Every structure is written in structure tokens, then in C-alpha cells.
């Protein structure tokens, strides 16, 4: 891992996501071939976007975090903006796709995203009653 990426653990996860408005998270494992292919692409994106937090979760060392996010396959990329997961997708993204996803996440209207999340939560609460 380079100095451009942060290792996330169950101890520092909440604070990292709370203290930073834009966090990209790569869920990976050392035995995973596609994870190894994606690592240099992720590192390059981290160096190109120093204003964002690029983090990695080793699913072998942090099984609780992988379970909490229902990670079924790796690598999985997740983007959290303002403490809301706005993107989650398994698979190693090519460089151009990763750059595009970062751009889309940067351009999100977070007020609109929060409104939609609140609507979904309200619908879910109605179903449960």
C-alpha cells in the first residue's frame, strides 16, 4: 500500500468516514488475482486525486467490516460521500471507468441524495408497520 492509501480497520473505519466527506474504499484480499490487477489502477487514481481519501479494507484481516457491508466478491469498490454510500460495485475497474466513477461521484448533488435516502427510509418504515 502506498502513502496515498489508508488501511481501514474496524477501529478507524467510523472516524475515517465521519471525518472525510469523500472516501473511496477498496475491499480486497492478498490471494485475489483481480485485486492485485486493480491495486495499481487504484493507487494511480489515489495519486491523481489527493483531495480524496482512498482506503483499503483487507477482507481477510477485517472480516467484520466485509460482513457489515455484505461484501460477496472482491475486489469491491465503494464510495462514501457525506457518510452515505453512493456507489458500490464488485469487480476490478479499468482506469478510465474508475476515473469516470470518481467524476460522477464528485458531481452528485448530495442534498438530493440525502432526500432520496430519507424517502427510501420512510417507505421502508411504512412497510415494517
DSSP 22-44: EEEEEEE-TT-HHHHHHHHHHHH
User: Pick the catalytic residue: 8, 24, 25, 35?
Assistant: 35
Residue range 84-94, pLDDT digits in tens = 999 999 999 99
Q: Is residue 125 annotated as part of the catalytic site, yes or no?
A: no
Residue range 96-124, pLDDT digits in tens = 999 999 999 999 999 999 999 899 999 98
First-to-last alpha carbon distance for the chain, in angstroms, is: 47
Q: Is residue 32 annotated as part of the catalytic site, yes or no?
A: yes
Amino acid at each position: 500500500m502506498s502513502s496515498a492509501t489508508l488501511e481501514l480497520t474496524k477501529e478507524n473505519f467510523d472516524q475515517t468516514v465521519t471525518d472525510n466527506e469523500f472516501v473511496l474504499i477498496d475491499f480486497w484480499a492478498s490471494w485475489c488475482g483481480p485485486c492485485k490487477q486493480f491495486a495499481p489502477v487504484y493507487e494511480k487514481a489515489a495519486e491523481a486525486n489527493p483531495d480524496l481519501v482512498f482506503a483499503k479494507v483487507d477482507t481477510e484481516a477485517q472480516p467484520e467490516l466485509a460482513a457489515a457491508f455484505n461484501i460477496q466478491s472482491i475486489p469491491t469498490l465503494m464510495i462514501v460521500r457525506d457518510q452515505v454510500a453512493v456507489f458500490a460495485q464488485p469487480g476490478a475497474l479499468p482506469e478510465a471507468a474508475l476515473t469516470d466513477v470518481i467524476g460522477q461521484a464528485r458531481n452528485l448533488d448530495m442534498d438530493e441524495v440525502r432526500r432520496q435516502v430519507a424517502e427510501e427510509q420512510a417507505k421502508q418504515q411504512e412497510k415494517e408497520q
